[in-house]
Copies of this chain bind each other. A is one copy, B any other.
Amino acid sequence: MGINAPLNRKLRMGLVGGGQGSFIGRVHSIAACLDNRAELVAGALSSDPDRAKASAPDYDIQPDRAYAGIKELIEKELALPTEKRIDFVSVATPNHTHFEVAKAAAEAGFAVFCDKPMTFDLSQAEELARIVEKTKGVFVVTHNYTGYPLVRQAREMILAGELGEINAVRSCYIQGWLRSRLESSGQKQAEWRTDPKRSGIAGCFGDIATHAYNLGRFMTGLIPDTVSCHLKTFEPGRALDDYGTAIIRYKNGALGSVTASQISHGRENDLRIEIDGTKGSLEWNQENPNQMIYRRNGQPMALYTRGGGPYLGSMAAGATRIPAGHPEGYLEAFANIYAAGFEAIAARAAGNHADCRNSLFPNVFDGVDGMNFITQCVASSQQNAGWLSLYHSACR
């Protein structure tokens, strides 16, 4: 039995976005291919056709499969024999083009791995979800932090009731890189992420708070009820929020909080989460992802390590490549998202269409929920932090 059974072959990847200057395109390419289960064979690497061509050799994409855009990519790939054609499209463009690319790819029958936030606005997200429901294709939203083995361990423990009823979920995502008006200095990343035309209605909250919210949902499976949010723009002249706090009331009575900052000096990608249950509590930090703290009153604090022992469940074990003590990081976690998507692609090839609202990977419905969260946070903030309802469409 080979890789990606029952297909018994590598999957073929088409990358959209990721041209020179992109960070996340390279991440998608490494993550998809890390386990030797996929190879990158085609790309539409930039919206600028010249840059798209010029970027191809960096990825070892052959010139004839370096396309000028998603349209050409789909057209030409569909014209190829199936044994050469790409299996999936990875969307690593700025937010405002996610929808167009992802929609085209999904409708053409390709599996899609789309960066987050999934779309520019909520209505696009809902439309994507309808398409996926119809096509029953694989659609992955790269809320990549859910790929960390110990994050999955947390989910497994919580869903099994090990923590009891969940009362509180505190998550923070603290960065500092937008402390100054970097977007005025020509830094590409800063430019589009602070530009409402390309990022959507939220800045910091769309970029990172949505990860922190998704992480809590993934780990706990709690159903949200309402949200109250306060957004701030601390850097003068910036069009979008660069700081904010949201309070979430969950249906079971639990209280959640999500704080995100891009203006905290010296902070890198400090995504942390603390979860309190009636029987135990968990704490995890993305910058030190190979450890998770499990606490129970009256017992010594327990430090779980990735791969650390038989106390870990199958979810964490299945997402680990190397033994404990040899750290895994961001790329490996990202690769775990891809791996789960590949499982789904192979399963569909075998005729097995799993429930598309409930998957190990973050799916199109998680993407909708993320857009709903962003939308309601911005609206709440505009209404002096008034309470607005949140809905949920993914089965978490």
Chain A interface residues (CB < 8 Å from chain B): 1-3, 8-10, 23, 26-27, 29-30, 33-36, 40, 57-60, 167-168, 170, 172, 174-177, 179-180, 228, 230, 232, 234, 243-245, 247, 249, 253, 255, 257, 259, 261, 263-270, 274, 276-281, 286-290, 294-305, 308-311, 321-332, 384-385, 387
Kindly provide the distance from the CB of A213 to the nearest chain B CB, expressed in whole angstroms. Answer: 15
For A170, give the chain B residue with the smallest CB separation. B259
For A164, give the chain B residue with the smallest CB separation. B265
Does A259 lie within 8 Å of B257, measured CB to CB?
yes
Across-interface contacts of A332 in B (CB, < 8 A): 329, 331
Does A245 lie within 8 Å of B243, measured CB to CB?
no
A60 contact from B36, B175, B180, B288, Cβ within 8 A = B36
Q: How far is the CA of A122 from the CA of B7 in the complex (A)?
A: 47
Known: A36-B59, A60-B2, A179-B278. A327 touches B327 (CB 8 A): yes
For A234, give the chain B residue with the smallest CB separation. B167
Given contacts A265-B297, A266-B280, list 19 more A-B pairs with CB under 8 A.
A2-B58, A30-B34, A30-B321, A168-B243, A168-B261, A168-B264, A175-B325, A176-B295, A179-B278, A232-B253, A234-B278, A244-B255, A266-B297, A266-B301, A287-B325, A298-B310, A300-B304, A328-B329, A385-B387
Across-interface contacts of A280 in B (CB, < 8 A): 265-266
Across-interface contacts of A303 in B (CB, < 8 A): 300-303
Does A265 lie within 8 Å of B287, measured CB to CB?
no
A330 contact from B1, B295, B298, B322, Cβ within 8 A = B322
Kindly provide the distance from the CB of A282 to the nearest chain B CB, expressed in whole angstroms. Answer: 9
Q: How far is the CA of A2 from the CA of B55 in the complex (A)?
A: 9
Across-interface contacts of A8 in B (CB, < 8 A): 57
Across-interface contacts of A175 in B (CB, < 8 A): 325
